[in-house]
C-alpha cells in the first residue's frame, strides 16, 4: 500500500505533467496560428502573382498591338516597303541566333525583334513625295531621306525603351568600312545589332520592288552585295551567305 507521501508525490507529478501538456497545447496552438497566417500570406502572394501574370499578359498584348500599328504606319507611308520590316526582323533573328555567332543578343531576342520592326520608324516624318518618287532621288532628297535614322532615334529616345531599340534605329545605315550614315562609324564601333540589321536591310531592299526599279533576282542581289561587301561585318556576312546557301534566307515571294 502506497504511503501518503508517495501518493502526494504522484499527484504532484500528474499536475506537473498536466501543466506540461497544457503548455505544449498552447505552443501547438500558436504554431497552428503561425502556419495559418503563413498559408494566408502564401495564398495572397499567389493571388498577387496571378494578377501580375495577367497584367504582364495584357501589357504584352498592348505592346504587340502597338508594334503592329506602328509597322503598318511605316508601311503606309512607304508602300513599296510592304512586309519589309517583318522580313528584316526574320533575317536578322536568323543571324542573331546563329550558333557561330558569339553574342549577348540571344538573351535579348524579343527586344531585338521589336527593334528590327521599328528600324525605319523615322520614315514616318519623311515627305511622301520623296518616299514614293518613281525616279532616282536628287542629292538633296537623298540627304533628306538619310535623316530617317536620326529622326527615328529622336522619336523613341524620350520613351526610355531598351537601348537596343534606339541603337538599331540610329545605326542601321552605318557601314563596316565607315562609309555609312549618320556618324560614319567604322567596324565594331557600330553596335552588333545594327551590323546585323544592315545586312538584312540591304538584302531585302535589293530583292524587293522599289518605286524606281523592279526587284533584283537572288543571284543579282548576291552579286551586288559581294561587290559592296566591305560595308558588311565579314563574320556576319559569312553567316548570311551560309544561311542563303541553306535556303533559310530567301527573297520575298512575288506579290
Q: Which residues are near Fe ion by CB under 5 A?
A: 120
Q: How far is CA 186 from the centre of its chain?
A: 25
Based on CB atoms, which residue is closest to Fe ion, 120 or 204?
120
CB of 54 to Fe ion, least distance (A): 37
Pick between residue 13 and residue 157 the one whose CB is nearest to Fe ion.
157
SS3 12: helix
Q: At closest approach, how far in Å is the CB of 121 from Fe ion?
A: 9
CB nearer to Fe ion: pick between 85 and 236: 85
Comparing CA positions, the residue from 168, 200, 198, 195 lying closest to residue 86 is: 200
List the beta bridge partners of residue 213. 210
CB of 78 to Fe ion, least distance (A): 10
Looking at beta carbons only, is 120 or 174 nearer to Fe ion?
A: 120
Rounded to 5 degrees, φ, ψ at 228 are -110, 30
- Rounded distance between C-alpha atoms, residue 155 and residue 132, angstroms: 22
Closest approach of Fe ion to the CB of residue 122, in Å: 8
Cis peptide before 80 (omega within 30 of 0): no
**What nine digits make up the cell of 227?**
561587290
Amino acid at each position: 500500500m502506497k504511503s501518503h507521501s508517495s501518493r502526494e508525490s504522484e499527484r504532484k507529478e500528474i499536475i506537473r505533467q498536466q501543466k506540461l501538456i497544457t503548455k505544449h497545447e498552447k505552443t501547438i496552438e500558436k504554431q497552428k496560428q503561425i502556419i495559418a497566417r503563413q498559408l494566408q500570406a502564401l495564398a495572397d502572394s499567389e493571388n498577387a502573382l496571378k494578377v501580375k501574370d495577367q497584367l504582364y499578359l495584357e501589357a504584352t498584348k498592348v505592346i504587340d498591338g502597338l508594334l503592329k500599328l506602328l509597322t503598318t504606319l511605316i508601311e503606309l507611308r512607304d508602300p513599296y516597303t510592304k512586309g519589309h520590316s517583318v522580313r528584316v526582323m526574320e533575317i536578322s533573328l536568323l543571324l542573331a541566333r546563329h550558333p557561330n555567332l558569339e553574342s549577348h543578343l540571344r538573351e535579348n531576342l524579343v527586344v531585338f525583334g521589336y527593334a528590327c520592326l521599328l528600324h525605319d520608324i523615322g520614315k514616318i516624318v519623311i515627305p511622301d513625295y520623296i518616299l514614293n518618287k518613281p525616279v532616282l532621288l536628287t542629292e538633296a532628297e537623298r540627304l533628306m531621306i538619310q535623316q530617317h535614322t536620326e529622326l527615328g532615334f529622336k522619336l523613341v529616345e524620350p520613351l526610355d525603351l531598351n537601348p537596343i531599340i534606339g541603337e538599331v534605329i540610329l545605326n542601321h545605315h552605318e557601314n563596316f568600312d565607315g562609309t555609312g550614315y549618320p556618324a560614319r562609324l567604322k567596324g565594331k564601333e557600330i553596335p552588333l545589332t545594327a551590323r546585323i540589321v544592315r545586312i538584312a536591310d540591304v538584302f531585302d531592299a535589293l530583292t524587293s520592288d522599289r518605286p524606281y526599279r523592279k526587284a533584283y533576282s537572288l543571284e543579282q542581289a548576291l552579286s551586288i552585295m559581294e561587290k559592296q561587301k566591305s560595308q558588311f561585318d565579314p563574320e556576319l556576312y559569312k553567316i548570311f551567305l551560309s544561311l542563303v546557301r541553306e535556303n533559310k534566307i530567301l527573297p520575298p515571294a512575288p506579290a
